[in-house]
Structure 1
């Protein structure tokens, strides 16, 4: 197990290599201000050892990044021991992000979530933040992303009854909805 300190990765995608063997980031992870990157820069980057961030995760204006699914496939806990303006997870102005894709994430232990101004981001309506956050969700800000009606937010198993994702009630109307990160990754409850 390798514990790394806080990382501020900006401007240069090659700096992501600092995450190479980290299993825990004792602090925060900020990935920001990469204006000349394309999806090709992120295709082979993968950090499967990272399972926990003790403070917060911030993503801001990283061009070309389409999903966090391959980048952080095993990130399961964001502890939120120290926050970024009350937030443990911030995804802000990510112009090419299509889905969050953190399918192993089961706990955001302290702090709120802010996901805002991501014009291509879908699969927001299929995530139940209450499964991740044991505390009040009132401070979460999820605004100005791609309109739900323009997304094809379908969870795995909708057509195959044997492989359905978990269902939870919606906050508006109390309907039961399937919960997933992407069309191929179900959302897990913290005990799964």
Structure 2
């Protein structure tokens, strides 16, 4: 039986909704992307049990995603179309935990994310894609309060993956902008080992 190593980290970023997203009463779970890294070419099915409303998916989520995954993470659908990852976005009413985290000056956001995401276990490709999505929303704020979520996120966005992965890392950042620095107990992270069929997800939420 395969071992399921759940390295679950989520970073909840709280900031007013910006960019192309319309203002909403419910926080937007933005751009969770799911990477699949099997040890050999494998047909994989992924289903998402989300306690909210999906607002966008790519490729289209139709009773789950059904793809063929290569060891380098390249995905193909049944029509042969190629993807780098599975994307989804949705609205929900989460209660994210900000009891621990980090208060980071906006100008220091890029360096902070680079160092912290690498420590959590993302590869350069993964954390660079994370940073280029979130940095424009955060770097102009005087400060950002950042907390990486675990069960507060995974309990509302459950993944069912077949075949069962050996290693799972889910990084979800909750954050909000601050005008002044705030004292907060720092988070610590358990090292993540990529062993066998590995699944990695990252996303975030701008909390008002």
Is TM > 0.5 for Structure 1 vs Structure 2?
Answer: no
- Pick the structure with more helix per residue: 2
Return the index of the structure with the highest Cα Rg.
2
Q: Report the TM-score, using the length of structure 1 for normalisation.
A: 0.24
Higher relative contact order (CA 8 A, sep 6+): 2
- Pick the structure with more strand per residue: 2
